[in-house]
Structure 1
Amino acid sequence: MSRTFTAVVNPAAGGSASAARLIPLAKLLREAGAEVVVEYSCGLEHATALARGAAANGHVVLGVGGDGMVGCVGGALAGSEAILGIVPAGRGNDFARQLGLPKKTEELAALLLEGEPRAVDAIEANGVPVLGSVYAGVDAVANDNANKTRIFKGQAAYTVGALRAILGWRPAAYRVTIDGQVHEERGFTVVAANSGYYGFGRHIAPDARHDDGLLDVVIIGQARKTLFVQVMRELEDGSHVRRPQVTVLRGREVRIELTEPGRRLPYGADGELPGELPVTAKVMPGALRVLAP
């Protein structure tokens, strides 16, 4: 029996890239006998409603876009029996990279048509389901810079945003509580990772698995700014975890907060900035059924 798909697209964010990826894919799906409905959202809240409505009708829901849109659509389906398909069409596509989704349109179409859903973990961040990671520190500030830029695109936006964030950064004093155990750290960032990748392919948590029921907690501690720039380069292959300034821990529930009175920092999740610290991230084991290799 052919599948029926509802593609949820945000035309306001990377709309041309989403269309360029979706149009040939939808053509292949329809030629194979599948029905494809395309819904254009007005924003993330509308996308959530569209995804849940399509799932209620028994459709496979396609999140079309970058990590923000995919995280929103996937988060809307987490904890249900609905099936998610991912059509990577954003700047980062980090959760798609973690899942090993094919880049070729023909291979992705075959996966969506014939693949069996597999259970993967999600994260509940201050009560909101997300997919890839929750992070607080210089990376969240860099994320904000990248989202606001109108000059640079793709990886250049992340790189320039990160450099701007580093130049203006002063070490933050964190309290990180992992399954009840408290860790005090001063430094650059704390990441609670379900996916090993974030920030346009940076391998922040190289040993993270999206189906092990655990979050990898990466803490980049205090160091010279010049050294942190070197760490940024090492994020490409994950070799940063060998540095003494980097601590990697694991747990099911992670709370990240600041201990400095009066200081405020944003936290990020799936390329979006939902709010400011503190944030509590809890793993949701096997909460999402996704079409992936």
Structure 2
Amino acid sequence: TLNKTRKTCSCKGDCDCPRILTDDNAGVMRKSNAVSYIAHKLSMVCGVKSGLPLTREVFKGNTPDGKTLETTLETFKAEHPEMAEQLDFILADGIYQTPENQKVTKDVLQAKLVAPINPRNRKDKPTSARGIEKINRYGTPICISEHKMDLRGSDREKGQYIYTCPVFHPNARQEGLTCPLANHVECCNGAAQGRVFRLDFDQAPQVDVELPQHGRKFKVLYSARTIIERIFGILKDGYSLRRVHKRGKQAVEAHVDRCMISMHIMANMAYHQTGKANCGWTRHRLN
């Protein structure tokens, strides 16, 4: 119960003795405008290939997600120093995509934070460029045929992203997309490969210049992040992580640790029975 207090004395009945919170780490965690929980917040690091949780940090329920990264990465580095030295990328949800968290990841682990664009309060911006209707809130040019332009690369010397046509460019063509002849002529004078559009870096500050989120390299790297969602689902539904029955941060940490250890034990049993050590261990039936 949020903000519930208890007595610290042995007095019977009502008294003026100091009272303390029964759980000073519980807070209101909002999942959406209509869904809220009184909860503790758990931040976790897991291996992409192993699919096993490696490090955890427990925060107060109302702690913003973006503020949990630094402490979690520092704990991971302290607990797994050899593994931390080998990391090149940290995959995280879009809420972590801030300049501060990019700097934290480099300072703590000398790695690159890979997180999608979080548009926050940004809005679509109209543009006067020929054939381009607007720059949407994610920093992607939208042509007059309402197609998202395809990012092909960037020009660091000129500080520009290079976008191509998703209908006519041979390396960016998307099945099912068409462009009316009138728009094709207006946009690129009927060029065989369609429109090539250059967008200045400062016109799309929400895009990561080092690793643009609209590029193919980012999409390949980020596709591996879904493993953490499966791990959380397995821990909640299969290892009793969804609800805790003790109060206080220390008790919650102990509960999380037991869940994580249990998962590692099951993975070890699966390895000895199947000879495989990968994220598919949860699918093997253990006798």
* TM score, norm. by length of structure 1: 0.28
Please state which structure has a larger fraction of its residues in strand.
1
Structure whose CA Rg is larger: 2
* TM score, norm. by length of structure 2: 0.29
